[in-house]
Amino acid sequence: MTGVRTAIVVLAGVVVALLGWSWLGGGDDGSDDATGGDVSADDDGRPAGTVTVLAAASLTESFTQISDELARSHPEIEIVLSFGPSSQLVEQVLAGAPVDVLATADMATMAKAADAGVLDGEATVFAANTPALVVPAGNPGGVAGLSDLEREDLRVAVCEPHVPCGAAAERLTTLAGVEPVPDTLATDVKEALALVTLGEVDVALVFHTDAVSAGEAVEVVPVEEAESVVNDYPVAVLERARQPAAARAVVEAVTGEIGRRVLTESGFLVP
Amino acid sequence: MLVVPALAGLALLLLPMAGLAWRAPWGRLPGLLTADHVLTALRLSLTTATLATVLALIMGIPVAWMLARDNVRGRGVLRGLVTVPLVLPPVVGGIALLVAFGRRGVVGGWLEQTFGINVPFTTVAVIMAQTFVAMPFLIIAVEGALRGADSRYDQIAASLGASPWTTFRRVTLPSVAPSVVAGAILCWARALGEFGATITFAGSLPGTTRTLPLEAYAAIGAGDTDTALVLSVIMVAVCVTVLVALRDRWVRAL
């Protein structure tokens, strides 16, 4: 009996410790609030509140940075980011997820949301991306070009055809007349990239910006046709946004100066 | 006082399944059930879950036998460890399998260099993921039964000259057969439903690694709600059948 009691006490202790730690970790935001105290956050009419943003997986690094910078200049806006495959994000929005802003990695997925009438106005294109052929550092599979995606002896990862990176991969390989023999279909671009950085696959088709974000863990094999497969990234405020003014401020940050700089640094083409 | 939370609990448990039955495209069911990608996933799922259960029987019964014996040192710790997959998030199991058996993994790297064997992203990886997640169900069921079994029969068999192996095969095992069957069915059902470890360790490719749950996930991602619903209905039907088959043994075996 004492054994069980000790176990419960230990478990409770661990849970409380983790709880405290996780809340203290969130304390970074609290200190931001303190420094932002000089800014007159309580001016009437200033956009404020929590803005939930669903964004394509390939926007992970850039949107995180944009949100950090926005939080510094607008501490009264709290941004909650969630990343995933665009097609799934749209499904979540259509299923009624409490979301204020949606940013997808191609026009086709955004069109689905527009057709369903859940957007507040039109979507704005804020960036563009091109596909990239990536291999683990050192290129263990000896990949020389797009046609190596057909090699049976290599482990190949491509995205699902319905997610943007998969659609882009399909356009690229069709254009080049290559028929890939994938070993797995990744659910989003970051999963495909992770398989390359882990060295579990020899080659994958991701976006140029993902190759940039992975740094030295991957190498890019140049593909001539990649430049002609351009993916536009649209962003839109949703009709049921609870904080429309704050949501529009976030979209303005993405399409404006902060966004343009951060996105360019991440390797996006900016209109 | 207790009725309100009880009703809320029942609603939470039962409404989603009622919703499935309500939304399922019954009219399109025959067409969708015979669609190539659904049949491919179904075939793959049935094959892999069955092979995983066979593996679990071959390896799990001896593990259960070991755990049920009193003279094995560190038995308590060992039992705790083999039941970890019961509560571990399956995706963590997948990551663990990948770092162990992946190309750059401890065992995987050696396998590839020595034998040229690649495990991840193959059907073998699916079976391994399923076995990893499902075998503890069998081990627990069989171990419990072995512990409760009357060991005097074993002693009598041994005293009459039966070898340990004969005793195990002819006396011990038959006495716990109902629990072995119950454990195997639970194990099979868990293997059939495996998702997290599979998609992490085996990936998702139609015909090779994309089992029913992965096909349902891919379908919902592709906006093909009807297919996702049909696959869900299949899996609910299988689970209900399993539970009905086990209804008498449920309490006794576990």
pLDDT in tens, B197-238: 999 999 999 989 999 999 999 888 777 888 999 999 999 998
- Give me the pLDDT at residue A30, please: 41
- Give me the pLDDT at residue A48, please: 79
Give percent of chain A with pLDDT exceeding 70.
91
Q: Are residues A197 and A244 in the same domain?
A: no
- A186 assigned to some structural domain: yes
pLDDT per position as a tens digit, A212-230: 999 999 999 999 999 999 9
Name the residue facing A184 among B103, B203, B220 (closest C-beta): B203
Does A162 contact chain B (CB < 8 Å)? yes
Q: Which residues contact B230 (CB under 8 A, 6 or more apart)?
A: B24, B25, B28, B29, B32, B33, B38
pLDDT per position as a tens digit, B108-167: 889 888 888 889 989 999 999 999 999 999 999 999 999 988 888 888 988 898 888 898
Q: How many CB atoms lie within 10 A of CB A94?
A: 15
- Give me the pLDDT at residue A36, please: 36
Question: According to the annotation, is A189 in a ligand binding site?
Answer: yes
Q: Provide Rg for chain A, Cα atoms.
A: 21
Please report the number of interchain residue pairs, chain A to chain B, with beta-carbon separation below 8 angstroms: 62
Name the residue facing A200 among B98, B205, B209 (closest C-beta): B98
Q: Are residues A183 and A224 in the same domain?
A: yes
Q: Is the pLDDT of residue A37 over 70?
A: no
Predicted-assembly ipTM surpassing the 0.85 threshold:
no
Question: According to the annotation, is A58 in a ligand binding site?
Answer: yes
Q: Is the pLDDT of residue B98 over 80?
A: yes
Look up the domain containing A63 and give its range. Answer: 47-128+233-265
Question: According to the annotation, is A228 in a ligand binding site?
Answer: no
More confident residue, A49 or B248: A49
Q: Enumerate long-range contacts of B76-81, CB under 8 Å, 24 or more apart.
A: B79/B143
Count of positions (residues) in chain B: 254
- A72 assigned to some structural domain: yes
- A198 assigned to some structural domain: yes
- A21 assigned to some structural domain: no
- Give me the pLDDT at residue A42, please: 42
- Give me the pLDDT at residue A2, please: 65
Helical spans, DSSP H, in A26-130: 27-35, 60-73, 86-94, 107-115
| Token pair listed for B26 | 């019954």
- Give me the pLDDT at residue B118, please: 85
- A23 assigned to some structural domain: no
Cβ distance of B203 and A112 shorter than 8 Å:
no
Q: Once rounded to an integer, what is the mean pLDDT over residues B46-55?
A: 96
Q: For residue A22, give the amino acid letter.
A: S
Q: Is the pLDDT of residue A235 over 70?
A: yes
Q: Once rounded to an integer, what is the mean pLDDT over residues B59-68?
A: 93
Q: So what's the architecture of B28-253 in CATH?
A: Orthogonal Bundle (1.10)
Where residue A55 falls among pLDDT bands split at 50, 70, 90? very high
Q: Once rounded to an integer, what is the mean pLDDT over residues B161-184?
A: 90
Q: Are residues A184 and A237 in the same domain?
A: no
The per-residue b/e assignment along A245-265, b for 16 or more CB within 10 angstroms, e otherwise, is ebbbbbbebbbeebbbebbee
- Give me the pLDDT at residue A265, please: 93
Q: Is the pLDDT of residue A264 over 90?
A: yes
- Give me the pLDDT at residue A157, please: 95
CA distances from A24 to A15, A16, A71 (A): 14, 12, 18
Which of A36-45, A119-128, B39-48 shows the lowest per-residue confidence on average (mean pLDDT)? A36-45
- Give me the pLDDT at residue A24, please: 75
> What's the CATH code of the domain at A164?
3.40.190.10
Does B118 contact chain A (CB < 8 Å)? yes
- Give me the pLDDT at residue A254, please: 95
Q: Which residues of A touch B205 (CB under 8 A)?
A: 182-185
**Is residue A95 a contact partner of residue A82, using CB atoms and an 8 Å limit?**
no
| Token pair listed for B209 | 């690694």
Q: Are residues A69 and A157 in the same domain?
A: no
- A17 assigned to some structural domain: no
Name the residue facing A91 among B118, B204, B220 (closest C-beta): B220
Give percent of chain B with pLDDT exceeding 90.
51
- Give me the pLDDT at residue A33, please: 41
Q: Are residues A120 and A151 in the same domain?
A: no
Helix (H, G, I), strand (E, B) or coil at A227: helix
Write down the residue that tokens 């663990």 correspond to: B96
Q: Are residues A138 and A215 in the same domain?
A: yes
The full set of domain ranges for chain B reads 28-253
Mean of all residue pLDDT scores within chain A: 88
Q: Once rounded to an integer, what is the mean pLDDT over residues B34-60?
A: 94
pLDDT per position as a tens digit, A88-109: 899 889 888 889 999 999 999 9
CA B250, CA B254: separation in Å to the nearest integer?
Answer: 6
Does A186 contact chain B (CB < 8 Å)? yes
Strand partners, A204: A134, A157
- A2 assigned to some structural domain: no
- The domain total for chain A is 2
- Give me the pLDDT at residue A25, please: 65
Q: DSSP strand E in chain A: where? A: 49-56, 77-84, 101-103, 124-129, 131-136, 156-159, 184-186, 203-207, 218-221, 231-237
Q: Are residues A209 and A161 in the same domain?
A: yes
Where residue B249 falls among pLDDT bands split at 50, 70, 90? low
- Give me the pLDDT at residue A35, please: 37
- A41 assigned to some structural domain: no
